[in-house]
């Protein structure tokens, strides 16, 4: 069974409930009244060297409970102090223990771009992300398929950068056809949740010059970071290793290669 499908179904229900409580027009008004220009997520990842996107997630389907009591502000400040160039905040509540409020808190605690990492399957979530202060959002080709291009365009209209996640050659082709400027290659198999860093090594050479390549999932050590950098990674998105570490800031510094 694809582990993504039940999560997407629950997110559709959550979006419908959120829309009933706060119509799209209200979100649009909130952006106009409260939000300035987003921080430049792409520029942060394109800086010289290997950029680290440090992630806040309290639990996950693959890792179980990671750090259930993690404080979003403290985590963000520690990551920034250790050299993270961007943050990723899981906002999905049931499987990852997140909330949109975590994103707002994290962004206020550190002066770097913040990615909303969630399962975006409705244009409402794009406006919702912008209203909450996100600088970028994750779009998963496995969830959006042929609609990926539509969502990339809508995100651009909302002034959000996009990390487009892929798992294989077909999804990478969809992402590039959609105009993705930042591609996240996920080393995790959605069916059995296994991790293979060879996925990034296989797909990275297919990413055109000018498109940033982000290695997602499975980076646990400095050796892994070096391996991904040599394979062509511009950035790493690291969550589980940091959340499990006794000293997340010290662990993050291992990946600065």
| pLDDT over threshold 60, residue 1 | no
Q: Is 186 among the catalytic positions?
A: yes
Written as six digits, the tokens of 67 are 């750090």
Angle, helix 169-177 to helix 148-157, in steps of 10 degrees: 40
**For residue 3, what pLDDT band results from cuts at 50, 70 and 90?**
confident
Catalytic residue chosen out of the listed positions 92, 128, 181, 216: 216
Q: Is 57 among the catalytic positions?
A: yes
| pLDDT over threshold 80, residue 30 | no
Catalytic residue chosen out of the listed positions 75, 88, 129, 186: 186
Q: Is 67 among the catalytic positions?
A: no
Residue-wise over 8-42: b if at least 16 C-beta within 10 A, else e? beebeebbeebbeeeeeeebeebbeeeeeebbebb
Q: Is 157 among the catalytic positions?
A: no
Summarised one tens digit per residue, pLDDT across range 214-224 is 999 999 999 99
Catalytic residue chosen out of the listed positions 51, 60, 88, 217: 217
**For residue 34, what pLDDT band results from cuts at 50, 70 and 90?**
low
Instruction: Please tell me the predicted confidence (pLDDT) of residue 32.
Output: 63
Extents of the domains making up the chain:
4-254
Summarised one tens digit per residue, pLDDT across range 106-142 is 999 999 999 999 999 999 999 999 999 999 999 999 9
Q: What is the mean pLDDT of residues 21-36?
A: 77
Catalytic residue chosen out of the listed positions 51, 57, 88, 181: 57
Catalytic residue chosen out of the listed positions 117, 181, 187, 254: 117
Q: Is 60 among the catalytic positions?
A: no
Q: What is the mean pLDDT of residues 205-213?
A: 97
- Homologous superfamily (CATH) for 4-254: Aldolase class I (3.20.20.70)
**For residue 148, what pLDDT band results from cuts at 50, 70 and 90?**
very high
> What length does the chain have?
257
Instruction: Please tell me the predicted confidence (pLDDT) of residue 33.
Output: 63
Instruction: Please tell me the predicted confidence (pLDDT) of residue 82.
Output: 98
Catalytic residue chosen out of the listed positions 165, 181, 201, 254: 165
Alpha-helical segments (H) within 35-147: 41-46, 72-82, 93-96, 100-109, 123-132, 141-144
Q: Is 165 among the catalytic positions?
A: yes
Summarised one tens digit per residue, pLDDT across range 44-60 is 999 999 999 999 999 98
Summarised one tens digit per residue, pLDDT across range 159-200 is 999 999 999 999 999 999 999 999 999 999 988 889 999 999
């Amino acid at each position: 069974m694809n582990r993504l499908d039940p999560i997407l179904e629950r997110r559709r229900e959550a979006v419908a409930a959120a829309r009933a409580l706060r119509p799209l027009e209200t979100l649009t008004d909130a952006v106009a009244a409260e939000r300035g220009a987003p921080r430049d997520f792409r520029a942060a990842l394109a800086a010289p060297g290997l950029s680290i996107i440090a992630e806040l997630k309290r639990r996950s389907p693959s890792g179980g409970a990671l750090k259930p009591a993690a404080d979003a502000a403290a985590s963000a400040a520690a990551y920034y102090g250790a050299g993270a160039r961007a943050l990723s905040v899981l906002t999905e509540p049931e499987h990852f223990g997140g909330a949109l409020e975590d994103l707002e808190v994290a962004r206020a605690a550190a002066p770097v771009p913040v990615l909303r990492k969630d399962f975006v399957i409705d244009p409402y979530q794009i406006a919702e992300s912008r209203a909450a202060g996100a600088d970028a959002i994750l779009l998963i080709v496995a969830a959006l398929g042929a609609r990926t291009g539509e969502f990339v365009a809508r995100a651009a209209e909302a002034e959000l950068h996009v990390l487009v996640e892929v798992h294989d050659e077909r999804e990478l082709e969809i992402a590039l056809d959609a105009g993705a400027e930042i591609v996240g290659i996920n080393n995790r198999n959605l069916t059995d949740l296994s991790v293979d860093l060879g996925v990034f090594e296989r797909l990275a050479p297919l990413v055109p010059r000018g498109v940033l390549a982000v290695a997602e999932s499975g980076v646990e050590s400095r050796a892994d970071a070096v391996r991904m950098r040599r394979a062509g990674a511009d950035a790493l998105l690291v969550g589980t290793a940091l959340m499990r570490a006794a000293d997340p800031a010290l662990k993050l510094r291992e990946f600065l290669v």
